[in-house]
Amino acid sequence: MSAASMAALGLEPEEFADSLRPLGMPRYRGEQIFRALHQTYAASWEAIAALPLEDRQRLADAYSVHWPEVAQRFGSTDGTVRYLLRLQDGAEVEAVYLPDEVFDGEGASVRRRTTFCISSQVGCAVNCQFCLTATLGLTRSLTAAEIVGQVLTLLREHDLRPGKGLDRVNLVFMGMGEPFLNYEATVRAIRILTRPEGAGLAPRRITVSTSGIVDKIRRWGEEPFPRGRPRLAISLNASSDGQRQQLMPLHRGQGGMAGLFEAVRAFPLASREYITFEYVLLAGVNDQMADADRVLALLRGVRAKVNLIAWNMGPDLPFATPEQNHVLAFQRRLMDGGMSTYIRRPRGRDIYAACGQLKRTSLVGIPNVS
């Protein structure tokens, strides 16, 4: 790999080491540079004071270091922050910081965690009918360096680094885009972000969500992640073929429910691993008790859990959010059927930061905390 073929944030330590030789620099500089970029959040070669001046100049001539620009920050009353990030070519994506995100399960079980929700593409091509991001269409996929840059930007924004709170950070690929339609860049970014010489994020605290790209689900199950495979989440959102085809037009092209669940049932799960199924509840559309019964039938024999998401509003989208008692009844039906089921509390709805709301929205009344 040549130095000019990839931005610095998209390189692993060994790749730095190999490509430094033509620059007349020793191999050990590769790990030193990687640590500086990913642990001290150096945003330029000039900022790495430990390197000799001549080495910094050589690196500046050979590699680019481009962090996303924080164009705007929108703060929610619940502590969520939505970031509008501008990339080097002017394209914009969004990432979300969720402090102490809460999931409610059976009884009094509550789990707390700090979560970053990041994007894999500029816009999205999947066209889920209930999602605001879908109305943008797809501009392009992000590079691995741009994905890594989002994470490092949020870590720096919230002063999280190795030894200072980073161990409780969860990362979810649930922002703009379909990660499995940008598969190679997503995998590379995860390998970089889980390197112990860098951010050192735990693979078990990373979740990649797909709308159901069947061939990539199969490939994900075979992917050789050196430090362990991140968790897989699948956006189900329907209980029948006809319903899912209407809500998620890519469904038929992926082989319908039969094709999806053939891949799911063949997925190689470790002893304590499971697949998460996300289910957006749309009032009067997919939230009936008959839907819950069909979901149970689909998931029978699958080691799974279900996250229920009451639909988050979007302008000009023809759906409604179900009442809370209806959401609870749906959860109870699944739990009575033996399925671990959680309700994801909405976070950042007031700033258009909740699930399905990311559309680079800047509205009067939303607090800009820049």
Q: Tokens in use for 259?
A: 């094709």
Instruction: Please give the pLDDT value at position 178.
Output: 98
What are 306's strand-pairing partners?
Answer: 277, 341
First to last CA, the chain: 39
Catalytic site residue from 117, 124, 131, 355: 355
Three-state secondary structure call for residue 26: coil
Instruction: Please give the pLDDT value at position 3.
Output: 40
Whether 124 sits among the annotated catalytic residues: the reply is no
> CA–CA separation, 33 vs 113, rounded Å?
30
CATH class of the domain at 3-62: mainly alpha
Whether 46 sits among the annotated catalytic residues: the reply is no
- Average pLDDT of each block of 10 consecutive residues along the chain (370 residues)? 63 91 90 94 92 92 93 92 95 91 48 84 94 92 97 94 79 96 98 95 96 98 95 98 96 95 97 95 97 98 96 87 96 98 87 74 49
Instruction: Please give the pLDDT value at position 114.
Output: 86
Q: Where in the chain is the domain with CATH 1.10.150?
A: 3-62
> CA–CA separation, 86 vs 156, rounded Å?
16
Q: Where in the chain is the domain with CATH 3.20.20.70?
A: 69-351
Report the topology of domain 69-351. TIM Barrel (3.20.20)
Catalytic site residue from 94, 101, 146, 178: 94
Residue 254 · residue 212 · CB < 8 Å? yes
Surface-to-core class of residue 239, CB atoms within 10 Å of its CB (0-12 exposed, 13-18 middle, 19+ buried)? buried
> CA–CA separation, 235 vs 230, rounded Å?
16
